[in-house]
A and B are shown apart, each in its own frame.
Chain A
Amino acid sequence: MGRKPRHEEERVANRIELLRSQAGLSRQELADRVGVHYQTIGYLERDEYSPSLVLALKIAAALGHPVEEVFNLEKGE
């Protein structure tokens, strides 16, 4: 019952970039709304960072979508 290899681990995927552009928001604008740096939005959009639950909820609220529409759990290979 050891830890799964990294490529088999579940990861949090998101649709921030798509929903942000649909909402007509720049990264900076979204970042200002949720109180993070604009670079952090970039890391999230490129799936380089999984947000905390608080930040995920803030982003979902800022984009006007339920959190499960913005974020989902992706199975590893």
Chain B
Amino acid sequence: MSSATDKIDDLSKQLEEKIERGVINWVNNDHFFDFLRNTPARWMLALIAVGTLYGYGVYAWITEGVTGYIYPVLIFGAVLLQKLSVRFAFDDDSTIDEYQHTRRNRAYRRAYKRSGWVLALVLGLMLVRSWEWTTSMTAQNMFWPLPNGALNFNCSIEQAVIGLEFLIGHFVIQKYLSWGMRGERN
């Protein structure tokens, strides 16, 4: 009985892999998607990704009542367009050739460096915020409080969710932005 179940499991896995490979091969090789792969398209997709991630992120952060549901959907859309544009180079090793390998590895290196800069910027902003809080406390109370490591960002639950979504989106999208703007030519 269990061997029959195992067999069905194996067959369904094989079918799933076959369908997945078929879809990836179709997307990678069909000229229908070429409009997403030239240089102007790369610029447009980068603008969409940056606009979505940072633009909508800031809007959602500062606008009261904006919930965090739309933001991840928009980020997912931007990432999907990027995936189509780079022929799933970051998803499956077996479908990419050595040029795509080289370009993908360079994109990872750039993304890693860029993320380091962003992290430094965020830490810097946190320090400024902490310093502002400390000086305002000093002005109010006429004493200099001992730093206790606690930071107060006064953010709501919605803002915290949006902040988390931003961080995840930021790290996911970096590699696609680092892929570069040079598109394919025929």
Q: State A52–B87 Cα separation when bound (angstroms).
A: 21
Q: Which residue of B lies closest to A39 (CB)?
A: B184
Q: State A39–B184 Cα separation when bound (angstroms).
A: 7
Q: Choose among A35, A37, A46, A54 the residue with the greatest number of B CB atoms under 10 Å from its CB.
A: A37
A: contact size bracket:
10 to 19
Residues of chain B at interface, number, CB under 8 A: 10
Q: State A53–B153 Cα separation when bound (angstroms).
A: 55
Mark interface residues in B144-186 (1 if CB within 8 Å of A CB, else 0): 0000000000000000000000000000000000000000111
Residues of A near B186 (CB, < 8 A) are 42
Q: State A39–B186 Cα separation when bound (angstroms).
A: 7
Q: Give 25 A-B contacts (CB < 8 Å), ordered by A residue.
A: A35-B97, A36-B97, A36-B99, A37-B28, A37-B87, A37-B97, A37-B99, A37-B100, A39-B99, A39-B184, A40-B97, A40-B98, A40-B99, A40-B100, A42-B184, A42-B185, A42-B186, A43-B99, A44-B99, A46-B185, A49-B99, A51-B98, A52-B98, A54-B98, A55-B98
Q: Which residues of A contact B (CB under 8 A)?
A: 35-37, 39-40, 42-44, 46, 49, 51-52, 54-55
Given contacts A46-B185, A55-B98, 16 further A-B contacts (CB under 8 A): A36-B99, A37-B28, A37-B87, A37-B97, A37-B100, A39-B184, A40-B99, A40-B100, A42-B184, A42-B185, A42-B186, A49-B99, A49-B102, A51-B98, A52-B98, A54-B98
